[in-house]
Structure 1
Amino acid sequence: MGIGENVIKLREAKNWSQQDLEEASKVPQSSISRIEKGLLRNPGVETVRKLATALNVSVAELLEEETSAKAVGE
């Protein structure tokens, strides 16, 4: 699983829309959408840091191939 799938799982675990994540992370919703769809596979370091902070996970966890169940609250 790539960053896009991790963002989706973590965002949905918080019951957030892409707009909610945009507000929390200051990453444009269009970028979030592209990341989630796999159209932006290598977002910049600052974008990844902002998303990880907003989702309350480390950058390493956000980039992991498999997000742990603990991180998504399952």
Structure 2
Amino acid sequence: MIVKNLEEFRKAKGWSQKKLADQSGVSQTYISELEAAKKQPTVLIAQKLATAFGISLADLLRDEFRAPKCKEVKEIDSGSERSV
């Protein structure tokens, strides 16, 4: 699931693997290997990638891809929670 999501989030941002590498601090080679399903990321690497995308680790690991623009944000409004 992370393999598909990683590539989909990267493409949704319009980023190359190099751009993601620059933003996340994860090497472009390692990102390429992740997208090719040759490697599985550690939790630390997955968190770095999620942070670079501006999403939660849960969003990156989600079974169903959701574009970054669909990210749910919880707000407190007059004492009640609502999704925006």
Shared fold (TM-score greater than 0.5)?
Answer: yes
Structure 2 residue runs without a partner (length 5+) = 71-84
The normalised TM-score by structure 1 is 0.86
Shift of 1:65: 1.2
Residue 14 (structure 1) aligned with residue 50 (structure 2): no
Which residue number in structure 1 is paired with residue 80 of structure 2?
Answer: none
**Greater RCO structure (CA 8 Å; 6+ sep):** 1
Looking at CA atoms only, which structure, 1 or 2, has the larger radius of gyration? 2
- Between the aligned partners of 2:58 and 2:69, the Cα distance in structure 1 is 17
Unaligned runs of 5+ in 1: none
Do structure 1's residue 60 and structure 2's residue 58 form an aligned pair? yes
Q: Distance in 1 between matches of 2:5 and 2:46?
A: 11
For 2:69 and 2:38, locate their aligned partners in 1 and report how far apart those are by CA, in whole Å.
27
Match of 1:38 in 2: 37
Deviant stretches of 4+, over 6 Å: none
Structure with the higher strand share, 1 or 2: 2
